[in-house]
Amino acid sequence: MRHYEIRAGSDTLHFYVYTTRVADAESRIRALEALFQRMPPAHRRTAYPVFVVDALPGGRRTGGGNWSRTQARTQWLGRQRVTGVPDADLERYALSHNGGVIGITAAALADEGRARGIHQLSVFHEIGHCVDHHLGLVPPGATVVDLRGQRYRTPNVREYAVEAYSRWIVRPSRLCRDDALPPGETQDRCTQRTLALLRRSPAFAGIHAAPTDPAPIPSTPWAGLAADWDCTRP
């Protein structure tokens, strides 16, 4: 196992890598630091440690997932044969800190079969579930219709909100998917509407700063952001 950490202010996000399949895992993880720094501090503190594995506890080898502490206890413990993560490590790095587990597969971190840079969205999607779980990313009464411009394999308002949140971190000028834009709505209009909605969520109460698109990230082929990935939520 290799351990890496990225930092923002006084906050640290830990990565525990149990796969050897991603040759440049360290540089991919370190490149996430600039994105982690865009998260509001109150949001950063909700993030669970990230376990990078060949297979998630259910055996799936693509995408990622998010498990609360209770869910991680029942679904990750005793699964070393599948995940490669010993129970002692789960206790030491996650459960004993009152945290749950973010699982990211090697395939997702390596962008296997996906556009380069898509892993940024995978990771921040799963972190977004932590923000949603602890602070709430869905405004009262909001539905998938209010979040049109997102897409998920099943219409689920939490997934849509988390998806929009991950894009707010990774590419805030394009909160909506180009392949899911509502008829007659431009990307800019969809972005503004979606951001206004996110800002009405409990997690954004009292938060005024907004990430802006930075220079370092854009070389990504953003057409690839239309790619779907699997997100396991028990």
Q: Would you tell me which residues interact with Zn ion (CB under 5 A)?
A: 159, 231
Q: How far is the CB of 103 from Zn ion (least distance, A)?
A: 12
Judged by beta carbon, residue 89 or residue 134, the one nearer Zn ion is 134
Q: How far is the CB of 63 from Zn ion (least distance, A)?
A: 9
Judged by beta carbon, residue 89 or residue 159, the one nearer Zn ion is 159
Judged by beta carbon, residue 130 or residue 231, the one nearer Zn ion is 231
> In this chain, which residue has its C-beta nearest to Zn ion?
231
Q: Taking Cα atoms as reference points, which of 2, 3, 7 lies closest to residue 33?
A: 7
Q: How far is the CB of 86 from Zn ion (least distance, A)?
A: 26
Measured between alpha carbons, how far is residue 150 from residues 31, 133, 163 in Å?
Answer: 25, 19, 7
Q: How far is the CB of 190 from Zn ion (least distance, A)?
A: 20
- According to DSSP H, which parts of the chain are helical? 25-30, 33-36, 41-44, 69-75, 80-83, 87-93, 106-109, 118-134, 157-170, 187-198
Judged by beta carbon, residue 109 or residue 231, the one nearer Zn ion is 231
193 vs 182: CA distance, rounded Å = 12
